């Protein structure tokens, strides 16, 4: 197993912000399975209560309903915590283009609140979610840290700002911060019902419902889709990486890419259904191609992604088949 060589002292406590979200709830699940003490924080603005409720009976878990924009809540959440895994944020590039100020409030102020609370509480390390969107209009492939282009969206700007805060808090305030530039994470619990749903659950739900999917642009845009288990590994290894690794952000991906057209075909094959997509205009702020160079991540974080796209993809499709069919049957 990929986590066997990741060990923490007995009694280690983790705070997972955004614990009701897709990535946050998977982190909570994994940490509790390993016997760690975990505190979750979420305000349910985008997270789902069901993702919290399933852990409430676990004696190693406690949950705070609260907002990272509230500095007092952040201090309460960080009390007695060894490691913060900060996932709380507003996602979605398209929404950020429509509502820029709420992204500044949540993603920038909220994250700086959490870093300050972690510093004041003596947290050992602060690991936070960044994004591949920070590469902007850089045409270079694969994407390498330090070779970013012009920012294309408000969402990307907030994540780049978070990285600057992480560098500052590491170098000036002594809080060891590690940023993780996620590349199109997918897996169980990813919400297919949001207006801004990620492409994989959105495609799966539409095809299971016999509805055509709209693909923005020509479908030849490519993405480095990253299975959730690789992301969990990256978060845990970031907690244990040498201090020299802190104050930086790293690509978290598998290192291979696939076009949306090919992705759509693969979903159809696995679901044994064939529905032609509908092509629409390109979306503002979207990056055309995404492929990560993970050499720095391997070097500094000892990251080794064991889950390739095909393996993770089959598991994700099976999970959605089971859970969406159950949901459809319950609602019928």
- The enclosing H or E element of 39 equals strand 37-42
Domains and CATH numbers, the chain: 13-259+263-331 (3.40.50.720)
pLDDT average, residue stretch 301-329 = 81
Task: Say what percent of the chain tops pLDDT 70.
Answer: 95
Task: Say what percent of the chain tops pLDDT 90.
Answer: 66
pTM of the model: 0.91
pLDDT at 188 over 70: yes
pLDDT at 328 over 50: no
Q: pLDDT of 120-161, one tens digit each?
A: 999 999 999 999 999 999 989 999 999 999 999 999 999 999
**Mean pLDDT over each residue of the chain, to the nearest integer:** 90
Active-site residue 155, yes or no? Answer: yes
pLDDT band at 332 (very low <50, low <70, confident <90, very high): very low
Q: pLDDT value at position 321?
A: 81
At residue 51's C-alpha, the angle toward residues 114 and 112, to 5°, is: 10
Residues 288, 318: Cα–Cα separation, whole Å: 28
Q: Annotated catalytic residue: which of 61, 103, 135, 155?
A: 155
Q: How far is CA 95 from CA 58, 80, 91, 126, 232, in A?
A: 35, 35, 8, 27, 26
pLDDT at 40 over 70: yes
């Amino acid at each position: 197993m990929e986590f066997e060589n990741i060990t923490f002292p007995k009694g280690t406590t983790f705070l997972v912000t955004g614990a009701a979200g897709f990535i946050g709830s998977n982190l909570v699940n994994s940490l509790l399975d390993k016997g760690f003490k975990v505190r979750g924080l979420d305000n349910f603005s985008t997270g789902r209560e069901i993702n919290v409720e399933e852990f409430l009976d676990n004696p190693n878990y406690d949950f705070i309903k609260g907002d990272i924009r509230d500095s007092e809540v952040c201090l309460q959440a960080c009390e007695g915590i060894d490691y913060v895994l900060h996932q709380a944020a507003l996602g979605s590039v398209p929404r950020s283009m429509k509502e820029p100020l709420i992204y500044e409030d949540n993603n920038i102020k909220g994250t700086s609140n959490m870093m300050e609370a972690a510093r004041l509480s003596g947290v050992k390390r602060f690991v936070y979610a960044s994004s591949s969107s920070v590469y902007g209009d850089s045409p270079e492939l694969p994407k390498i840290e330090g070779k970013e282009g012009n920012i294309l969206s408000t969402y990307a700007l907030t994540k780049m700002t978070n990285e600057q805060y992480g560098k500052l808090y590491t170098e000036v305030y002594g809080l060891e911060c590690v940023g993780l530039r996620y590349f199109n994470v997918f897996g169980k619990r990813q919400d297919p019902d949001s207006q801004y749903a990620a492409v994989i659950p959105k495609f799966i739900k539409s095809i299971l419902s016999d509805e055509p999917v709209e693909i923005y642009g020509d479908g030849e845009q490519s993405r480095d889709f990253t299975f959730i288990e690789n992301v969990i590994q990256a978060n845990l290894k970031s907690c244990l990486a040498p201090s020299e690794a802190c104050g930086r952000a790293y690509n978290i991906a598998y290192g291979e890419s696939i076009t949306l057209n090919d992705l759509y075909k693969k979903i159809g094959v696995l679901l044994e259904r064939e529905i032609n997509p509908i092509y629409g205009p390109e979306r503002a702020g979207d990056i055309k191609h995404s492929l990560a160079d993970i050499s720095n991540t391997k070097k500094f974080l000892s990251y080794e992604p064991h889950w390739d796209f095909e393996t993770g993809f089959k598991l994700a499709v099976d999970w959605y088949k089971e859970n969406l069919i159950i949901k459809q049957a319950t609602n019928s």
